[in-house]
Amino acid sequence: MINEIKKPEPIKYYIVRNNENKIMAYGVVEQNQQMQTGQPIMDTYLDKTEWENKLLESGVTLEEENNEENS
């Protein structure tokens, strides 16, 4: 089974898991993008904070983007 997101409006955040519920991938799909996965479980979110919280609950820590000031 293929799970996919095609040119979402608004953008969508996703978490992809395998049958053992292990996170295999996560990210964001912009309005001009699409993504597919063969993994059986894909959760999608419209709210970035909710998506980040779900990742944190699963032990995934997102790194902050570097600002030019910090370079």
pLDDT band at 64 (very low <50, low <70, confident <90, very high): low
Closest CA to 6 of 42, 26, 28, 36: 36
Q: What is the mean pLDDT of the chain?
A: 90
pTM of the model: 0.85
Q: What is the pLDDT of residues 40-62, one digit of tens each?
A: 999 999 999 999 999 999 999 88
- Look-up: residue for tokens 């063969």? 38
Which of the four pLDDT bands, split at 50, 70 and 90, describes residue 70? very low
Q: What angle do CA 63, 14, 7 make, to 5 degrees?
A: 115
Structure-block tokens of residue 17: 């898991």
- Residue 14: strand pairing partners: 27, 44
Task: Inform me whether the pLDDT recorded for 66 exceeds 50.
Answer: no
Q: Residue 40 corresponds to which amino acid? A: P
Element (H, E) at 42: strand 41-45
